Homo-oligomer: A and B are copies of this chain.
Amino acid sequence: MSQETKITPRAQDYNQWYIDVIQAAEMADYSPVKGCMVIRPTGYALWENIQRVLDGMFKDTGHVNAYFPLLIPESFFKKEAEHVEGFAPECAVVTHGGGQKLEEPLFIRPTSETIIWSMYKRWIASHRDLPILINQWANVVRWEMRTRLFLRTTEFLWQEGHTAHATEAEAEEETRRMLGVYQRLAEDHLAIPVVPGLKSDREKFAGAVRTYCIEAMMQDHRALQAGTSHMLGQNFARAFDVTFQDDAGQRQLVWATSWGVSTRLIGALIMAHSDDKGLVVPPRIAATKAVVIPILGKKADPAVVLAEARKLADETGLGRGIQVDARENQSPGWKYNHWEQRGVPVRIELGPRDIDSGQAVLVRRDTGEKKPVPRAGIAQALADLLEDIHRSLYARAKAYRDEFTFDVDSADEFRQKLESPGGFLRTHWCGDGVCEGKVQEETKATIRCIPLDAKPEQGACPFCGKPSTRRVIYAKAY
């Protein structure tokens, strides 16, 4: 049982608020290993539910899971020039094993394209071997100097899909399909509205032809990249010499995609919904959807109230999704605060009078609204309330994002808006990476994406004045 933690208000210190929310909810802890984190049960339960939802979506779209080695020979990375340049500097390197110095150093995977394509070379001979639609749930390591719980840690958990296709069109379709899966996960399960878009060449994955992403806005108006899907073209097939015989008997290079989301999503979830009282967990992804607090009062028989509380929990039909806080040494008020800090979507208060009148009181975590509900219809009332909470969390986050999304047409306005209030700056862009780089250097803002639904619009880049045909989203990002 933790000490209750005081949570710094967002307005006072947003970064400290984020850390306080995590520590109060016991979601994660710093580890003795620099840059690594421990994901505690409250945090890990969210990852389990994200896994469950996403894995179902992967299977529904024809994917299967597999597992590839953690350790990758250094030489594999060198086979794809952009890839090694992007990843080698942030790798952890194993030089000794079993008491011996290794002949060749092994990298702990920062991503698995190289090891996987070395295997695809063995498995692909004919067009009948395609497509390969494999996903892997795994840990990866990328050496980080400045770390932040969930958002940027040396080791993190993720899934990485790696698919192989006979045609460019099929690979492109897969890349976009998986972006759609990520958007559904974010919006329909995490209640986080996202902008699906294309990365600029400067921001794309090292080794990709095109990188698609979903971008979300946090409560400090910064952007957070919540998932990426890469069209890798034939780059890895070329690097690992992976060809197939087509219908006409010709050898062709295989087309590739890869796509991933990580435990970073938990950071996104925290920053999208939580408040100064602590964590707010969107109901569809919550491990504990409701908690029953028995209120004993002075005259009540504790055993009777507790028995009714347990009965009530059963009546909800939520199984492991509901808990009864039966601790005797804590007051109801202490418990309210405890479960609010942990973000449980609904609190159910049950006292002797409620028992007598056949009702219970449902209290929403997001708005604090209280509502007495007859016991007879509790399961449906609770289910409806949970759905309503999901919808209102999503709507609130979307309204917030829209409020801080601005069309910006001059460099001065760009600098001003970025300074305050920040947000998504819809800005014309000349398409030149050098210009983009200068903007980043001066303002720290980057092009988050070229939105997929961007409408053609004539304009001019506010920085270099060159013509532009559509707006991109610039923002400061995590």
Contact = CB atoms under 8 A, between A and B. Distances in A.
Interface of A: 1, 29, 31-33, 36-41, 44-45, 47-48, 59, 64-73, 76, 89-99, 105-106, 108, 115, 118-119, 122, 126, 128-129, 134, 138-139, 141, 143-145, 154-155, 157, 320
B145 A98 contact: yes
Contact of A155 (B71, B98, B119, B155): B71
B128 A1 contact: yes
B99 A92 contact: no
A126 B3 CA distance: 11
A367 B432 CA distance: 68
A449 B145 CA distance: 48
A98 B1 contact: no
21 contacts: A31-B69, A31-B115, A31-B119, A32-B73, A33-B71, A38-B66, A38-B119, A40-B66, A41-B65, A41-B66, A45-B64, A71-B141, A90-B98, A91-B97, A92-B94, A92-B97, A92-B106, A93-B95, A94-B95, A98-B143, A108-B108
A93 B97 contact: yes
B145 A37 contact: no
Given A69-B31, A129-B1, A98 B89 contact: yes
B36 A69 contact: yes
A129 B144 CA distance: 33
Contacts of A320: 59
Nearest to A145: B98
A404 to B, nearest CB: 33
Nearest to A134: B41
A75 to B, nearest CB: 10
Contacts of A155: 69-71
B143 A71 contact: no
A22 to B, nearest CB: 14
Nearest to A108: B94
A72 B39 contact: no
Nearest to A100: B143
Interface of A is mostly: mixed
A66 B39 contact: yes
Nearest to A118: B32
A1, A76, A144 — which one has the most chain B CB atoms within 10 A of its CB? A1
Given A45-B64, A47-B67, 17 more contacts: A1-B128, A1-B129, A31-B69, A33-B72, A38-B67, A38-B119, A44-B65, A67-B157, A71-B141, A91-B97, A92-B94, A92-B96, A93-B94, A93-B95, A95-B96, A97-B154, A99-B143
Contacts of A90: 98
A304 B19 CA distance: 62
Nearest to A128: B1
Contact of A96 (B70, B93, B122): B93
Contacts of A143: 97-99
Contacts of A93: 94-97
B29 A69 contact: no
Contacts of A118: 32
Nearest to A90: B98
A80 B406 CA distance: 59
A118 B108 CA distance: 24
B95 A95 contact: yes
A71, A129, A134, A143 — which one has the most chain B CB atoms within 10 A of its CB? A71
Nearest to A116: B38
B68 A44 contact: no
Given A64-B45, A94-B92, A108-B94, A122 B69 contact: no
Contacts of A145: 98
A146 to B, nearest CB: 12
Contacts of A72: 33
A256 to B, nearest CB: 17
Given A89-B98, A98-B145, A71 B36 contact: yes
B65 A29 contact: no
A129 B37 CA distance: 21
B89 A38 contact: no
A38 B40 CA distance: 29
A70 B115 CA distance: 19
